[in-house]
Chain A
Amino acid sequence: MTDINATTTGSASLGVAGAAEHPAVTAQGAALSVRHLVKQYDNASAPVLNDISFDVPAGQVFVILGPSGSGKSTLLRTIAGLEPIQGGEITMGGELLRQAQSAGKLRSASASDSTKVGMVFQSYDLFPNKTVLGNIMLAPVLVQKRDKASVQAEALRLLERVGLADRKDAWPHELSGGQRQRVAICRALIEHPQVMLFDEVTAALDPEMVREVLDVILELANSGQTMLIVTHEMAFARAVADHVVLLANGSIVEESDHPQEFFDHPHTERAQQFLATFTYDRGQRQS
């Protein structure tokens, strides 16, 4: 099963407050627990994710930052079951969710998966052949075999919550990017997933639409939804995060339970370097 060395130190964190406790923390009380996760593509020389371990307690907003190619999206995709993993395991509520498979095969999705993770992608992924309501209602009716009338009532409540009740009969192509992402959030939420995954959901949006989507996620965070967020919106990350992780080259470089402190005074050089790319100094402009 796990072909990686079990004696590795669990977390690749570099002596940051909170991170050192990792190996001692058990999966109990954690909504999601990732242990020694290794993800490597067949013909790649180095793993995309190299021995990643962390816990996400129920209700926590877990924000993952990092440069392009650091493995952030891949990390979410392994949790969502979209990528086979080559080592380690992922558990949810103490129950095994994913583990290394022989021959790198993914098992097919099943109805029980639907209540575990919900995911919203960067690219607009609403089903173009369904209306807004059709998109939201399809999975609970088809996969979870729930009663159509109650599903519809809940779908309308969710649309109300994200401010799109009047668009329930619209087709995806009639919506703006921000509206599509809000519908995609409803579509995931209606299955009552234990953990929500957001993979750069605002990266393809016009600046003015970013806000409407992030406000929905913020409201969701306040409602106690456990979630993992990959984002490049630093101001948003700072506002929403309970826990911040910086990924680089497939490893956790730094993490913190104090987002404000992380953003203002990162400990590692890599984090300082990364955060510096988001700030501009007027002094750089030659007068």
Chain B
Amino acid sequence: MDFGFMMHYAPYFVNAAYMTVFISFFGLVLSLVLGLICVAVQMANVPVARQIVRAYVELSRNTPLLVQLYFLYFGLPKLGVSWSAETCAIVGLAFLGGSYMTEALRGGFEAVPRVQLESARVLGFSPVQTFLHVTVPQALSTAIPAVVANVIFLVKESSVVSAIALADVMYVTKDLMGQTYDTYESLTLLVITYLVILLPISIVGTVLERRFDYARR
């Protein structure tokens, strides 16, 4: 292995990692917001919106991210909507992640015992107060492991954005391999970059799981 080569090209990966983290971060935040809205619609059993959420979840889960990105990047301009590659990447990740987060969060919400809601009701909480102070904290605590798994999955899935010419770590790696033919070193740098990004997330996830595990005895 050529360590001199790796040291030389490492700064390219640092810059590309910023792009990966940038896209992933905003994609994830939007995924979570979208997931929370969808779950709220499902829990509140809003008539028409419930069916729309169901259709969205199935559409989003059962189509590849690459296809979703192509649609946003190459398809939308035909309809007169031209977004930057960054916007397409973030919206694409949010579209995919939203359904995964919906399913992960739904599990948490369904696990909140009925008597918790009844206690809140007798204490005089409004439905909104119950939702914010009782349901959400407990549901999130149960959902943390599944949500963390989705976060890691989505960061990895962000490698697909290289297909719409965004200079993320995957894109830089393909570029480097094309220019230098040093495949082995390039891919090793890529693996290291992903580990540097994802291992801290894994560790924070484990800490959060422990911290908010209210159900333990």
Which A residues lie at the B interface, using CB under 8 A?
80-82, 108-115, 117-119, 121, 123, 125, 127-129, 138-139, 142-144, 171-173, 184, 187-188, 191
Instruction: List A contacts of B115 (CB < 8 A).
Output: 121, 123, 125
26 A-B pairs in the complex with CB atoms less than 8 angstroms apart = A81-B122, A82-B122, A109-B122, A111-B124, A113-B124, A114-B123, A118-B123, A121-B115, A121-B118, A125-B115, A125-B116, A125-B118, A127-B133, A127-B134, A128-B141, A129-B137, A138-B123, A139-B123, A142-B125, A143-B124, A143-B125, A143-B126, A172-B214, A187-B123, A188-B123, A191-B124
Instruction: List A contacts of B123 (CB < 8 A).
Output: 109, 114, 118, 138-139, 143, 187-188, 191
Write the nearest CB–CB distance from B34 to chain A, whole angstroms: 24
Write the nearest CB–CB distance from A128 to chain B, whole angstroms: 4
* Contacts of B76-126 to chain A: CB distance below 8 A: 113, 115-116, 118-126
Instruction: List B contacts of A115 (CB < 8 A).
Output: 124
CB-based nearest A residue for B118 = A82
The 9 A-B residue pairs with the shortest CB-CB distance, nearest first, are: A114-B124, A128-B214, A139-B123, A129-B137, A143-B124, A125-B119, A119-B122, A125-B115, A109-B121
Complex CA–CA separation, A81 to B120 (angstroms): 12
- Residues 115-152 of chain B: 1 if any A CB is under 8 Å from the residue's CB, otherwise 0? 11011111111110100011001100100000000000
- Supposing A81-B122, A118-B122 touch, asked if A143 and B138 sit within 8 A by C-beta, the answer is no
Interface on chain B toward A: helix, strand, loop, or mixed SS? helix
Instruction: List B contacts of A80 (CB < 8 A).
Output: 118, 121-122
Contact in complex: B129, A128 (CB < 8 Å):
no
Check: B8 CB closer than 8 A to any chain A CB: no
Contact in complex: B124, A173 (CB < 8 Å):
no
- Supposing A129-B137, A173-B216, A173-B217 touch, asked if A139 and B118 sit within 8 A by C-beta, the answer is no
Contact in complex: A138, B133 (CB < 8 Å):
yes
Instruction: List A contacts of B215 (CB < 8 A).
Output: 128, 173
Instruction: List A contacts of B113 (CB < 8 A).
Output: 123, 125
Write the nearest CB–CB distance from B111 to chain A, whole angstroms: 11
CB-based nearest A residue for B124 = A114
Write the nearest CB–CB distance from A117 to chain B, whole angstroms: 6
Contact in complex: B119, A109 (CB < 8 Å):
no
Contact in complex: B118, A143 (CB < 8 Å):
no
Of the candidates B126, B133, B137, B214, which one forms a contact with A109 in the assembled complex, judged by CB atoms under 8 Å apart?
B126
Contact in complex: A108, B214 (CB < 8 Å):
no
Instruction: List A contacts of B217 (CB < 8 A).
Output: 173
Write the nearest CB–CB distance from B124 to chain A, whole angstroms: 3
Contact in complex: B118, A128 (CB < 8 Å):
no
CB-based nearest B residue for A187 = B123
Instruction: List A contacts of B126 (CB < 8 A).
Output: 108-111, 143
CB-based nearest B residue for A121 = B115
* Contacts of B141-196 to chain A: CB distance below 8 A: 141
Write the nearest CB–CB distance from A84 to chain B, whole angstroms: 13
Instruction: List B contacts of A121 (CB < 8 A).
Output: 115, 118-119
Contact in complex: A117, B122 (CB < 8 Å):
yes
Contact in complex: B125, A81 (CB < 8 Å):
no
Contact in complex: B214, A139 (CB < 8 Å):
no
Contact in complex: A173, B214 (CB < 8 Å):
yes
Instruction: List B contacts of A144 (CB < 8 A).
Output: 124
Instruction: List A contacts of B214 (CB < 8 A).
Output: 128-129, 171-173
Instruction: List A contacts of B137 (CB < 8 A).
Output: 129
Instruction: List B contacts of A114 (CB < 8 A).
Output: 123-124
Of the candidates B116, B129, B134, B212, which one forms a contact with A143 in the assembled complex, judged by CB atoms under 8 Å apart?
B129
Contact in complex: A142, B119 (CB < 8 Å):
no
Complex CA–CA separation, A139 to B130 (angstroms): 10
Contact in complex: B129, A142 (CB < 8 Å):
yes
Instruction: List B contacts of A108 (CB < 8 A).
Output: 126-127
Write the nearest CB–CB distance from A183 to chain B, whole angstroms: 12
- Supposing A121-B119, A142-B133 touch, asked if A128 and B138 sit within 8 A by C-beta, the answer is yes
Complex CA–CA separation, A127 to B117 (angstroms): 10
CB-based nearest A residue for B112 = A128
Complex CA–CA separation, A139 to B113 (angstroms): 19
CB-based nearest B residue for A123 = B115
- Supposing A108-B127, A110-B126 touch, asked if A127 and B121 sit within 8 A by C-beta, the answer is no
Complex CA–CA separation, A76 to B217 (angstroms): 30
Write the nearest CB–CB distance from A268 to chain B, whole angstroms: 33
Write the nearest CB–CB distance from B164 to chain A, whole angstroms: 41
Complex CA–CA separation, A114 to B126 (angstroms): 11
Instruction: List B contacts of A184 (CB < 8 A).
Output: 119
Instruction: List A contacts of B138 (CB < 8 A).
Output: 127-129
